[in-house]
Amino acid sequence: MAASALLLVPIAIAMTDFSQRINWGLRGAGLAVPIQLLNAVGALCVVYAYRYGRAIIVSPMTSAAAPMITVMLSLYIYSTDPLDIPVKLTGIAMAITAAFLMVIDGEGEKPGLSH
């Protein structure tokens, strides 16, 4: 990951508009630090989830959780009522039900024991 990030540095520099002023205050670069710290903690949690959890549970949850959180936040931020559009409500209900069923599916099983 680090090697590919270093290889992309010239592309990022080429795409940068240096005529714009850089905001070094708390609303610019100062806000990037805590955001990236949270990102690092999240990435570490995903690594530990794959290490100690079952991939068949962890993979869909890590893939599905972000869109579900985004949908819930957007409904809250934009004060949208999902009851107005039945398709939205149905999709949200199905996503939450699927996540719940994935979690309770393997509660009684011991890791490493398969039939």
Give the CA-trace dihedral at 12, 15, 17, 23, to 10 degrees: -30
Residues of the chain with pLDDT under 50: 115
The pLDDT value given to residue 41? 96
Cβ neighbours around 58 below 10 Å, total? 17
Q: What is the pLDDT of residues 78-87, one digit of tens each?
A: 887 777 778 8
The pLDDT value given to residue 36? 94
The pLDDT value given to residue 13? 93
The pLDDT value given to residue 7? 95
What is the domain partition of the chain in residue ranges? 20-52, 54-115
